[in-house]
């Protein structure tokens, strides 16, 4: 008799719970946490030895039992996730916030029952997007998964993910909305750290004119960092086309250098040329290494490519400058040989003839003056050539 009466009580609890949930349009999240659910769960836990039904359950009774077990699983899943539950009655503008919700938000009055208390804690920059997301869910029934910041008790904003589902009446008017709130601050902090790291890497690559790349032989894919597209002066293309684009940009005379490096299977560093838009030629320093699997097969080739065009130009200019100096010194030594010889001959004449006539003296002075002018012209020519080369090197 006790088992029979207890079974009726339990079934009665389930039936009342089922009716309540039906009245509230089957939005069960709030009622998973109410007293009746707790009472039923505790009663089952404390009376596992008692059979609630002395007979095979009817279809309705079995349905109620299955519903309760399903709700019990959902309740445990919510509690295990650490998420907060919220339930908003849009018609009365009253809201229910679970203890976990209040614990997460922190800066939240205990007697708060409406959304105003929550709205006051939303970061001002996030308020427009939050309201737009709610409105889009009401009007277009778009999924409501929204991230925003809430002010915590210690005055620090934390990131949260709100997920919810509304219920509409027969006229399409939203009358209720319930959902979960998750603290995603650790994830956002990791995302921000990753963003800053990638930003610093991009700036460093831009300053060094250095890009990174990866080749995946199994799929013939190639992946570039943004800086490489800038260096090669091409638009972004799909990864399965990028290697062909890279090969097409190689200078025809330098393609063998890359082939030999890849065939070696060893760490390599080569310099090759690429042809950019309008036939512009750039010099690239390409380094690479191979990644092998446990069977010794190459699964990736990774490396960097650096634009060293300016360095190569400087090296070439230096070589040209040294060659010019060599040519200049050779030319100068050849050109000044005659005027210097003339000066030496006149000096010998003047030194060996004590009774030189005035006419001969004038002729000697004329030769000296002419030789001096030749030397001055050669020195002037040399200075002009040096100045022109310096201007080109700037």
Domain boundaries, the chain: 2-81, 84-183, 210-307, 318-393
Reported as a single tens digit per residue, the pLDDT across 287-339 is: 999 999 988 899 999 999 999 988 888 777 767 766 766 776 777 776 777 77
Read off the pLDDT of each residue in 268-273 and give the average, rounded to a whole number.
92
pLDDT band at 216 (very low <50, low <70, confident <90, very high): very high
Has residue 76 got a pLDDT over 60? no
Residue (of 70, 152, 144) closest to 103 by Cα position:
152
Q: How big is the chain, counted in residues?
A: 394
- What pLDDT sits at residue 68? 55
Instruction: Report the mean per-residue pLDDT for the chain.
Output: 76
Question: Cα–Cα distance between 96 and 28 in angstroms, integer?
Answer: 13
Does pLDDT of 238 surpass 90?
yes
Longest CA span, the chain: 163
Residue 40 confidence (pLDDT) above 50 = no
- Model pLDDT, residue 352: 66
- Residue-by-residue DSSP string for 3-30: HHHHHHHHHHHHHHHHHHHHHTTT--TT
Q: Into which CATH architecture does domain 84-183 fall?
A: 2-Layer Sandwich (3.30)
* CATH superfamily entry for domain 210-307: PAS domain (3.30.450.20)
> Is residue 382 over pLDDT 80?
no
Residue 42: pLDDT band by 50, 70, 90 thresholds?
very low
> Which residues make beta-bridge pairs with 165?
178
* Dihedral Cα 282, 287, 293, 294, nearest 10 deg: 160
In the CATH hierarchy, which fold is given to the domain comprising 318-393? Answer: Helix Hairpins (1.10.287)
84-183 and 210-307 have identical folds: yes
């Amino acid at each position: 008799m006790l088992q029979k009466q207890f079974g009726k009580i339990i079934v009665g609890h389930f039936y009342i719970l089922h009716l309540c949930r039906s009245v509230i349009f089957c939005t069960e999240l709030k009622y998973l946490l109410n007293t009746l659910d707790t009472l039923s769960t505790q009663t089952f836990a404390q009376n596992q030895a008692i059979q609630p039904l002395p007979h095979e359950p009817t279809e309705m009774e079995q349905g109620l039992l299955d519903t309760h077990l399903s709700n019990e699983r959902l309740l445990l899943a919510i509690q295990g996730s650490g998420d907060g539950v919220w339930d908003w009655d849009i018609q009365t503008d009253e809201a229910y916030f679970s203890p976990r919700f209040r614990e997460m938000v922190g800066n939240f009055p205990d007697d708060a029952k409406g959304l105003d208390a929550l709205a006051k804690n939303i970061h001002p920059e996030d308020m427009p997007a939050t309201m737009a997301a709610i409105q889009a869910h009401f009007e277009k029934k778009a999924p409501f998964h929204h991230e925003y910041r809430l002010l915590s008790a210690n005055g620090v904003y934390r990131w949260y993910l709100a997920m919810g589902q509304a219920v509409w009446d027969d006229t399409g008017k939203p009358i209720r909305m319930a959902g979960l709130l998750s603290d995603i601050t650790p994830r956002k902090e990791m995302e921000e750290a990753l963003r800053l790291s990638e930003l610093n890497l991009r700036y460093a690559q831009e300053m060094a004119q250095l890009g990174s790349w990866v080749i995946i032989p199994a799929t013939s894919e190639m992946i570039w960092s943004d800086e490489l597209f800038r260096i090669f002066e091409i638009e972004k293309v799909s990864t399965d086309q990028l290697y062909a684009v890279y090969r097409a940009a190689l200078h025809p005379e330098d393609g063998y250098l890359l082939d030999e490096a890849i065939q070696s299977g060893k760490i390599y560093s080569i310099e090759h040329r690429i042809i950019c838009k309008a036939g512009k030629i750039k010099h690239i320093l390409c380094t690479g290494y191979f990644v092998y699997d446990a069977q010794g097969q190459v699964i990736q080739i990774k490396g960097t490519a650096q634009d060293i065009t300016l360095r190569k130009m400087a090296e070439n200019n230096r070589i040209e400058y040294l060659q010019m100096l060599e040519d200049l010194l050779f030319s100068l030594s050849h050109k000044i040989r005659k005027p210097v010889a003339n000066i030496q001959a006149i000096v010998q004449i003047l030194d060996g003839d004590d009774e030189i006539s005035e006419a001969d003296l004038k002729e000697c002075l004329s030769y000296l003056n002419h030789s001096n002018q030749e030397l001055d012209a050669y020195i002037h020519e040399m200075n002009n050539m040096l100045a022109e080369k310096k201007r080109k090197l700037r």
